Every structure is written in C-alpha cells, then in structure tokens.
Amino acid sequence: MKIQFLGAAGEVTGSRHSIELLLAGRQRRFMVDYGMFQGGREATNKNIEPLPFLAKDLDFIVLTHAHIDHSGLLPRLCAQGFTGPIYCTTATFELLKILLPDSAYLQRADVDRAERKQKAGKWHGEMPVALYSREEVDLALSQFEVLEYGQVVEPASGIQLEFRNAGHILGSAIAIIDIAEDNAQKKRCVFSGDIGMKGKVLMPDPDSIANADVLVVESTYGDRQHRSLQDTEDELVEVISSTMTAHGNVVMPAFAVGRTQEILFLLIDLVRRGRLPHLSIWVDSPMATAATHLTQHFFSQLDSQSQATFEWFKANSESVDLRFIADVEESKALNKIRGGAIIISASGMCDAGRIVHHLASNLPREQNAIIITGFQAYGSLGRRLVDKAKKVRLFGEEVLVKASIHTIGGLSAHADQAGLLDWLKGFEVPPKSVFVVHGEPESSSVFAECIRDELGWKNVIIPERLHTYSC
C-alpha cells in the first residue's frame, strides 16, 4: 500500500491523501479528502495543477468533514472525470449542499468583480480563478453516499470504512479504513481528519480510537496550547465591552460552518450568565445562516451545555437581538452602522465573501475592533491583519488599518498540542507508521518530536507534498 500526500503536507490547507493498493489482482486508488488550498496566489496555483493520475482512475473518496480545505475541490475532480462515490456523514453532506454552491458562487463573483475593475483600470495584482461552476457542484453532489457514525460500509471488496466522531464541526469524522490487500496482512488505516478540542463549545469530545497500523494525524496547533475557555471568555467580554463603550463595532470574521455557531452559542451563553449585557448581533453570511439552522436540526449531536444554552435562548429570545442578513442590500446597509453592532461574517480567513466589505468599512476607524478567532493561513488577508499590517489591499484598493485587532485563540475548532496528544493516548499500541499532516512546518515538526518524546512512538514521519510512502 502506498500513500501520496497531495496537500496539507507542510501546510494547513488542501487536505488530499491518495492511497494506492492491490486488491484481487487489480491496482486500485482512493482518496481521503479532496480539499482546496487557501491563501493567495500560491494556493491557486496548487488548486489548478494537474493530478499525478487520471481522475477517472479513482475508485472512491472518503471525506472526513465539510470544511472547504478538505472538500473544496471535489466538484473540480468530478468535472475532470471522477465518477465514483464520495462517502461522508449525513450532517457533512447537508453542510456541503450549502458550502459547495457558495464556494462556486464566491469564486465566480471574485472573477467578475476583478474583470470589471480590470476593465476600469482599477485592478492591480493577479486575477482570481474560478475553479468550478455551479453545475459542476451539482454533479459532485449527485455522487455522495452518506453514512452514520459507527456504520460500516464496503466501498470495494477488501476495504471497510467506518466513521467516528471527530468533535471538530457538525458531521466531522475520523475515518477508520480496514484494508485487506493482496499478499499482505490486513491493515487498519486511521485518518484523524481535524480533531476537535475536548470541552469546546458546541461539539462533543472526539472519539478515541484503540488501534491503527497507519495513522495520519493533523497538527494545526501541534506546537501550541490554547488558552483556557475561561481566559477566552474573559478576553471576549473585555474587547466587546470596551468597544461597545467606545461606540465602536466589533467585526468577527468566522468560518460560516462551525465557528459562527460556536461564537453565537458562546455570546448567548455569556449573556445568559450575565457577563455581557443585551447584544445586537448580525450574522451576515447566507451560508452561516443556513449552517446555523442545520445546527439546530442536528441538535442531538451537540454537547449538553450547548443544548441547554439553546433551550434558554428559545425561552429568552429578547435578551439578544440576533439578526440573520439575507440579501446583499441589507448587508451593504450594515456598513452604515457606526457603533454598537457585532457583525459575524465569512470567510473566516477574510479572503472572500461579505467580510471583506465589512473590513473595508470598519478597519479605518480606531474605535472598532476586529476579533480573529480562527486559524489564518499564511498569505491570507486575516494573517496580514494578525501580523499587524498597517494597511491592506481590498478590492484592489488600499485601506488603512486603524481598528484594533485581537486574536482570541481559545475558540479553535482544532485540538491544541495537549488535546492532540490526549487523543493519541487513546491508541493502546503505537501505530506502525504515523504521518503528521495539516500543519505549518514548525507546528508539524514540534508535534512529531512531541509524539516521539512523550509517547515513545518510533516511526513518525512528516510527509512531503507529492511524495509517496510505502506502508
């Protein structure tokens, strides 16, 4: 069996792992995740680079969760000739029905806008690229096969697949793939997907897995410890209170799926506990609105505290003025609000979507606060803000950064170093091969070292992108 890492190797986006094996005398190939690279031109180039094999030669795809950096190139793959099934959980599929069309729409809108500006001589820099169309999204969505956590399916004779809860976002899964390859012992391959933080808002703790021969584990925060939820709450309360007192706005870029719902539940919970006064919150992302409704739909998959917060809000809805913005005109009207608003909008890394408009109108005023709560990939606008850029280029034009920028790390949907190690301790014997992926180089190497030192595991590899490993 061979694994080739086509993405999320030495970086956090573009999760795509190809597995090649011999089954009943036939060479077979499947992939775990098929995500988009995010963050600037370099990412675009990787998104459009040709695959090292033909799309039609892939047998099936296993998708761990709905985030675009794990799922976002699936429509492109189907358009290129992949016709097999894509396996994921029910909630993941429901989220993708929102996420993928939105992704196609945003790409188109970016290209159209850039072309208009270019014609007017106002566009400077590289042109964006549309990776797929809405029709190609529909084609991809027709290839999905859903399963529940714990259900076992056989995507091909000799391969069994089971999903367990990863506690990261709604529907997120750890993939357990048992493989009976020709002339080899049966192997268990475990792909962590993205692992959630124990005790975090909204999602239950990740399921622990007892054994694996081959383990592919994420390392987004492999070199860091998150602040405690208590510190995170204190910081949020401090920034929101002082900004409201100064009659400013709080703008929170957030992934529409997962992070937006976590922030909402947390803010409502802080009001419930009397730590924040009455709030006016605008959720300005059609996708976040739909994902919030889905979160309500999958209520039974939430952790118990979030269920209680939700019940309280239903009975006390006047305590938070919560509005979901539907159309673009309403969204633009938000730019006129000069203070007292909390605006939650996507995309989470500030690269596209309505958040860019909100940043353009709120960054130049010093009484405003921008609260960054998610991981910002190298090259993204969010990262430049975190790195204290004095000015940024939005829609091809320069905007001064006068608002205060706050990074509040404790809300991460990803486990930190201790959380990841804790999850690894669930394995009763060390896996024969461990591949550390989905982290920037420093993070992956610190975490790999940590696995060797603290767990005593021997064969810990940080794979290089496009390299193939036998195992």
- Binding residues for Zn ion, rule: CB under 5 A, are 67, 194
Nearer to Zn ion, 194 or 205 (CB): 194
Question: What is the nearest approach in angstroms of Zn ion to the Cβ of residue 194?
Answer: 4
DSSP codes, 174-197: EEEEEE--TTS--EEEEE--SPPP
Edge-to-edge order in the sheet of strand 460-461: 152-156, 159-165, 173-179, 187-191, 214-218, 433-437, 460-461
Neighbours of 305 (CB within 10 A): 13
Question: What is the nearest approach in angstroms of Zn ion to the Cβ of residue 70?
Answer: 6
Question: What is the nearest approach in angstroms of Zn ion to the Cβ of residue 306?
Answer: 18
Question: What is the nearest approach in angstroms of Zn ion to the Cβ of residue 37?
Answer: 14
C-beta separation of 12 from 439 below 8 A: yes
Nearer to Zn ion, 67 or 188 (CB): 67
What is the phi-psi region of residue 76: left when phi exceeds 0, alpha when psi lies from -120 to 50, beta otherwise? alpha
Q: ∠71-73-78 over CA atoms, to 5°? A: 105
Question: Across the strands, what pairs with 15?
Answer: none
Nearer to Zn ion, 69 or 110 (CB): 69
Please give the Cα distance from 302 to 362 (Å, whole number).
Answer: 33
Question: Across the strands, what pairs with 394?
Answer: 397
Question: What is the nearest approach in angstroms of Zn ion to the Cβ of residue 349?
Answer: 12
Sign of the torsion formed by the C-alpha atoms of 60, 66, 71 and 74: positive
Q: Which residues touch 387 (CB under 8 Å, ≥6 apart)?
A: none
| Residue number of the CB atom closest to Zn ion | 67
Q: What CA–CA distances, in Å, run from 272 to 168, 265, 313?
A: 24, 10, 8
Question: What is the nearest approach in angstroms of Zn ion to the Cβ of residue 72?
Answer: 11
Please give the Cα distance from 261 to 254 (Å, whole number).
Answer: 9
Please give the Cα distance from 365 to 305 (Å, whole number).
Answer: 37
Q: Which of 255, 243, 251 is nearest to 414 (CA)?
A: 255
Question: What is the nearest approach in angstroms of Zn ion to the Cβ of residue 366?
Answer: 34
Nearer to Zn ion, 271 or 415 (CB): 415
Nearer to Zn ion, 239 or 377 (CB): 377
Please give the Cα distance from 406 to 428 (Å, whole number).
Answer: 40
Nearer to Zn ion, 67 or 384 (CB): 67
Question: What is the nearest approach in angstroms of Zn ion to the Cβ of residue 168?
Answer: 6
Residue given tokens 């959630």 in the structure block: 196
Neighbours of 466 (CB within 10 A): 12
Nearer to Zn ion, 16 or 187 (CB): 16
Question: What is the nearest approach in angstroms of Zn ion to the Cβ of residue 64?
Answer: 8
Q: Quick one: which H or E segment has residue 66?
A: none
Nearer to Zn ion, 63 or 363 (CB): 63
Nearer to Zn ion, 194 or 223 (CB): 194
Find the radius of gyration of the CA atoms of the chain. Answer: 22
Question: What is the nearest approach in angstroms of Zn ion to the Cβ of residue 258?
Answer: 7
Residue 401 structure tokens: 């950064």
Question: What is the nearest approach in angstroms of Zn ion to the Cβ of residue 220?
Answer: 8
Please give the Cα distance from 106 to 1 (Å, whole number).
Answer: 38
